[in-house]
Structures are given as structure tokens and as C-alpha cells.
Structure 1
């Protein structure tokens, strides 16, 4: 009898695991050739996150961004930041997110070459080395990448259609160049106003071309300009401006300034701009140094909007020799968090060794206490 009961329970569990989740909803997604049945999950991580239609569709220009932008931090910040700014236009409670499906890899590379012409050897023929270097400095490549994100909405007949698009334009703050293959690298700073002048021209060309593409003539488009940091920077750049182009329109209007920045702590820039935050992070590092002899220094990054700290991320790289050390150190850091850091911003502290993240302490703004996790 017991064997039969166990068999029935196992069979029931198997059937339950295979059964569809009745909270999920099927929708029809319009494709170029046919309508595709997709699933909208009933749950989302939070009200601040977009639901994403399954099966997940990767970007039609997948991989281009990694070839165009040299700093991994910039890549992540641009993708996440564009989605963050899109929420002000496309409400996550009403729209679904999808990676860009209209600008293909081939098309993007074509546009990048046209909008960002490469200096050819014949352009500098007859110039002395000093003159050639000056020519490069006066003709920088401003544009790094064009990022597309799509926003879909469900209609009464359970179909979903594209109803909005965001386009991120990544622009260089530093132009790195060689005057000859194998030669030394030179660097030219690009002023922000000069960068925005070029970004405006690039955005105008892009919107005109998008309007000529099938099905995109009446789609609203949000444009946002991202200013990269240099390739070796320990913190990413940030978005500096955005504008909305209404459906059916093909001209760029005025840009709204975005006042956000990522600041390294400890650093001279952090000390000058945000002295109090700099001192707290420095004091935190000093407390860690007293506790642990293998400590070599912390790496902090503050994300600011309108000069108000929104999120502080700290990495503590330490070499451990046992799990007990990790547990004890994490407990110590947890206590410091409670004592030293205010609760009006998000906080994330990663304790890392040479091979992996050993523990994580995080706290949402306004939370009474942080949460921690020790990895095994």
C-alpha cells in the first residue's frame, strides 16, 4: 500500500511540474512572416522592472556593442541606463520590454561607418608626422555605438505590437587613435559641448532613416546620449541628454539635460565633489584595514542623480584561507554597515577573493537592516 501511495505522489508531482502555469498568458507576437505564439509570465521581479515575453528574443544586433565599446562597465551602464530612462516614457506596468529587433548587425556597422568615417591613409598623405597627428586630433571618431530597445503592448485581441522604441547613442569622451598600424596610441579629450553637437546631427540622421523603415513611421522614439569614460576607467560613464520624437515626426527637438554621474571612491574627484561620502567610504576602509591583515583596499562607486547619492557599490578584495574567515569577516562588515551608512540610498558590498565573490551584503534605500549571503 505504501509503495502504491509513493508511486501516486511521484506521478502527481511529475504531472504538476509538466503542467502549464495557468497564471501565464499566451499572446500572439507579430513577426515579419507569421504570427508567433509567445508567453507573458504572470510575475515580474518588481513594479520597477518590465515583463519580458517568452521565448526571449535576443537583439538583432547581438554582440555589436562589445566590439564597439572598450569598457565593460560602459556596456552594462548603457544597457541598464537606457532601460531606466525609458521607464519615464514607457510605463513598466503597461509595456513589455524586448531587445532591439529592427537594427541588424549589418545595418548598424554600415551606419557606424557612415556616421563615423574612418581616416584613411590617403587623407594624410604628404603630411609631416606632427601634422598627421594634428589631423587625427581635429577629426575624431565621436560615435561608438547605437543601441536599440523595443517596447510592446498587448491589445484586446491578445496580440502584442511594437508601440515604442528607445535609441541610445554612445559617444566618446576620449578619442584614442594611432597614426600608423603598430604605432603608439594618442589620446584626445572631447569636450562635452562638441560631443553633443555631433550627437544631435547623428540622432537626426538616425531618426530620418528609421522613419523610412517598414512599420516604424508612426512609432514614438526616445533618444538618449551616453558619454563614455575612457577604456581604463574603473567606473562607467553616464547619460547626459535625452529627447522624445513623437510618432510620425522625423526631426530632433530640444534635448533635456540628464544630471547623473558615477564617482570612484576613494578618489580626488570624489573628495572634491562629494566630500562627506568620500570620508565615510574612507573611514569604512580604515575600519576594515584594522580588522583584516590581508586587506589591500576597497573600490567604491557612487551613482548620483542631481547630485544626490542613489546607490553606493563597494568591492572588498581580500585573500581568504578558510570559510571561517569569510563568515567572520562578513559579520564584521555587516556590523559596520549598520553603524556607518545612512539608509537613504541603495547599498551593495561585495567581498571577493582572487577567484570569486565570497559574500554579498545589500540593502535597499529605506530598509531597516541589510541582507547578506555567503556563497558556498
Structure 2
């Protein structure tokens, strides 16, 4: 299995309403103009804008990506990091900034195998074995960083950080280039042990980065990658917070899980009422508009409580008026049937995979808004 490096970044800024401006203490004396965005609601972070542009992550896009991997993992990883961060760094008190301390070069090296040329690799050295049960698998799959700032007068100062570390349950590989794909299964106990080792190493390295220091709270979340054939992305399974130095504190379980609607034999639903709500929604729009190829959803749970839902609808519409009227009807049906007081994103795709419209509702359970995307 060919593996490549790709970079992870999450854009969390809401509408670009410039609420304040000042200098970023992490800019180390530069004269860059820093602004923060306004909040659409209390559940979203304000973001950082530098010289009129959104401040992107320095390691934007990097993970140890596999060509035929589960693309849902990246989105679930980013969403999960934010969900963990909201528990530690309240959106009411902190400003979100894309990771500025881990560079693309650094993360790329950390995600590699340990070798003479790459002594900082978090994955074990290649032992030359090709057998699935004898080779050293790649345990660490991706690393992400989010910075949390406090506004002190006209300055933004780093006051918290979240580091996400993605771990493999299965490592896909090829015995020869362009050959068939094989799989090394990694036991849960091994994955967790290797993950905690990696977390301790990463913490020690991050503390040494210029501008971080020993007293900035650092949350480290451990993420379990979903297998390539999974219908949902992975989840964060545990986290710990370091308040000083390299002391990581106690590990806490998250109780997060992702499920797919309609439910399958391999994915049960924690709350049957949510499943029935989705079925009612699905039946309503399928009865009204027969040209639908499919309606599916991914929901994120904490325990038995649903936290959010992403719905995908595949259509066979051709005219813009059909898409417009359908999107309006979907927004009405979603308000009536889907769970209340959670963020919901509904994407309407054509048979060719092109997005035709997007219907969204924020976390505070406000109104659904529909945006039809013009084809010209």
C-alpha cells in the first residue's frame, strides 16, 4: 500500500465580523496586524485573521495518508479535536488559532519510521519482514494541532493547545510496489500502549518548541482510525491534559462513537428515537421526490446523547429549479423530523458526485439555511 504525506487543518471561523484587533504575542515581535472574527453563537470559536487573511496551520494537511484509505477519518479527526477542546477551552473564553508551532517538516518526520536518517520517527524501524504478523506496523497515522488564545488587551497570547494523535487499528501495506494490499491487525491493547508512548514523546517535544513553554495547558487526545471499509470515521477514545512540564496527568475515556444511518448489523444506534427520526425524514423526502439514489447519515454520540449529524443525499436532478425546490423541502422536513438542538449538515450531491446544495443548522438549534450551488 503506497503511503503519502497529506496536512491536517481545521477552519473553524464563523462569519468574518471583525470583533477586535491587536498583536499576536506568538508572532515574536513582528508588526503583523492580527484580528479575530466574531462568533455566530456560543458553541463556535472566534478565529484569527492575520493581515486580512485567515491564519492557516503551519502543518496544514499533513497525515500519513493511504491512497485508498477511509476519507471520513480526516473530517472525524478534525471534528473530534474541536469537541475535546470545547470541554477544556471554552469558546466563550478562548480564541481559536490554527496550529502555529508544529511545522509540516516536523510532523512529516514524526510520522515516519525511526531510522538513522530519521531518529525522531514515532513509528518503529522497518524490520524487513513482509509477513503480516512479523513486520513492524505503522502505529501512528496522523498528528494535528490546535492553539487556543486569550485576548489580553490588544494582544493574543497562547493559553492552551490541543494535540490529536491518530492511531491505526489496521495497517495496510504492500509487499511490493503496486502489488496487492495486505493488512496487519493491531490489537486494541497494543494500539493504546503505543499511543500513550507516542503521547508522552510528543508532549516532551512540544514543550521544547519556542513560544510554548512549560505552563501552557496541553490537551492530548488519542484517536482510533476507522478501517478503510468502514462507513463512518474513527473516534477519539481517550485524552489527558498536561498543566506543567511533561506530566501528562490521568487518562480519561471519552465515550464517543460514530454511527451510520440507516443502521447496519455492524453499527447499532445508541438511541432508537434518533434512528426513527432519521427514517421518518428519509421516507418523507423520498415520497415527495422520487428521483433520489440514496439518503444516509453519520451521527456522533457521547454515550447515548447525539452530538451532531451529517446527512448525504444523492439525487438525479438536472435543473436548478428542481434542486432549489428540493433543498427548500429538505430544510422543512429536517426541522420537523431530525433531532433538535444539535448541529446538522445536509449535503445534496448529484449522481456524478458534484455538490448541488448544502443545508445547515447551527448547534443552538436555530433555523436551517439552504445554499444552492450554481453550476456555472
* Gap change, CA 1:102 and 1:338, over 3 Å in 2: closer
Describe how 1:257-296 pairs up with structure 2 within 5 A: 257-266=253-262, 267-271=264-268, 273-296=270-293
Residue of structure 2 in register with 1:329 after alignment: 326
* Gap change, CA 1:111 and 1:28, over 3 Å in 2: closer
* Unmatched tracts of structure 1, length 5 or more: 1-20
Deviation digits for residues 187-210 of structure 1 (CA, Å, limit 9, x no counterpart): 233333321111111111112222
How many residues are aligned here?
A: 343
Q: Which has the larger radius of gyration?
A: 1
Residue of structure 2 in register with 1:351 after alignment: 348
Structure 1 position 168, deviation (Å): 0.7
Return the TM-score normalized by structure 2.
Answer: 0.80
Structure 1 position 270, deviation (Å): 3.9
Residue of structure 2 in register with 1:79 after alignment: 78
Describe how 1:152-163 pairs up with structure 2 within 5 A: 152-156=149-153, 158-163=154-159
Structure 1 position 26, deviation (Å): 2.8
Corresponding residue SS for 2:293: coil
* Unmatched tracts of structure 2, length 5 or more: 1-16, 113-120
Determine which structure has greater relative contact order: mean sequence separation of CA pairs < 8 Å that are 6+ residues apart, divided by chain length.
2
* Gap change, CA 1:330 and 1:104, over 3 Å in 2: closer
Corresponding residue SS for 1:199: helix
Counterpart-to-counterpart distance in 2, 1:340 and 1:246 = 43
Q: Does 1:243 align with 2:240?
A: yes
Counterpart-to-counterpart distance in 2, 1:275 and 1:105 = 43
Structure 1 position 370, deviation (Å): 4.0
Corresponding residue SS for 1:314: strand
Counterpart-to-counterpart distance in 1, 2:339 and 2:75 = 27
* Gap change, CA 1:280 and 1:146, over 3 Å in 2: same
RMSD of aligned residue pairs (Cα, Å): 2.9
Corresponding residue SS for 2:318: coil
Structure 1 position 31, deviation (Å): 2.9
Residue of structure 2 in register with 1:57 after alignment: 55
Corresponding residue SS for 1:298: strand
Q: Any conservation in 2 of the 1:148–1:168 contact (CA below 8 Å)?
A: yes
Corresponding residue SS for 2:25: strand
Return the TM-score normalized by structure 1.
Answer: 0.80
Q: Any conservation in 2 of the 1:296–1:318 contact (CA below 8 Å)?
A: yes
Residue of structure 2 in register with 1:134 after alignment: 133
Q: Any conservation in 2 of the 1:116–1:141 contact (CA below 8 Å)?
A: yes
